[in-house]
């Protein structure tokens, strides 16, 4: 797996993120432990949607999680190892007894309260989902900068 597996995908139409997901990805410095159970499951379900669909060794799953944390999941205040543990502990990611091979659990094995959101996102390529998160953050940052500039200009003239 290459380090650029989630960088600059060539998608013309990005998926529309559900409002609940968009609200999460627009936040800054979120700790998974500080989220309520429902929001934590939504955040981890989003991660699940962006994970490689094939089995990975520990090195490859770590690379995938690092790439996501530097892009689509930049709002999370965690590292790849902690995120991997959250995914395993919540049953979204399985590993063999030696921690060498990692697999996304099947859709039917996901917690029931994760399935609806996952189903709405999983019709899209994982890279497109990741890119939609990145684009939502960029648009939000641009909107905030424009509002700030308007406010500064309106207060400088007075």
Give residue 34's pLDDT band: very low, low, confident or very high (50, 70, 90). very high
- Please report, for residues 20, 137, 144, 157, the alpha-carbon distance to residue 50 in angstroms, rounded to integers and kept in the order given: 17, 16, 27, 47
138 in a domain, yes or no? Answer: yes
Q: What is the mean pLDDT of residues 131-142?
A: 89
As for how many domains the chain has, the answer is 1
1 in a domain, yes or no? Answer: no
Give residue 14's pLDDT band: very low, low, confident or very high (50, 70, 90). low
The reported pTM is: 0.77
112 in a domain, yes or no? Answer: yes
Task: Provide the domain limits for residue 103.
Answer: 19-156
12 in a domain, yes or no? Answer: no
| Mean pLDDT (the chain, rounded) | 84
Between 37-50 and 112-122, two packed helices, what is the crossing angle to 10 degrees? 40
What per-residue confidence (pLDDT) applies to 85? 95
CA distance 115 to 156: 50
Quick: pLDDT tens for 84-128. Answer: 999 999 889 999 988 899 999 988 888 777 787 788 777 777 788
13 in a domain, yes or no? Answer: no
Q: What is the mean pLDDT of residues 42-64?
A: 92
42 in a domain, yes or no? Answer: yes
7 in a domain, yes or no? Answer: no
Q: What is the DSSP string of 4-67?
A: TTTSS---SSPPPPPHHHHHHHTSSSB-GGGS-HHHHHHHHHHHHHHS-SS-EEHHHHHHHHHH
């Amino acid at each position: 797996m290459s380090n650029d597996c989630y960088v600059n995908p060539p998608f013309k139409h990005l998926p529309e993120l559900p409002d609940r997901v968009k609200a999460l990805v627009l936040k800054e410095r979120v700790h998974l432990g500080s989220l309520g159970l429902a929001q934590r499951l939504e955040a981890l379900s989003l991660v699940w949607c962006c994970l490689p669909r094939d089995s990975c060794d520990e090195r490859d799953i770590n690379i995938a999680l690092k790439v996501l944390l530097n892009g689509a999941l930049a709002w999370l205040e965690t590292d790849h190892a902690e995120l991997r543990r959250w995914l395993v502990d919540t049953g979204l990611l399985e590993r063999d007894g030696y921690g060498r091979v990692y697999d996304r659990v099947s859709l039917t094995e996901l917690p029931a309260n994760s399935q609806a959101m996952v189903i709405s996102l999983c019709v899209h390529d994982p890279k497109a989902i990741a890119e939609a998160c990145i684009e939502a953050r960029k648009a939000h940052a641009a909107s905030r900068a424009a509002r700030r500039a308007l406010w500064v200009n309106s207060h400088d003239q007075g």
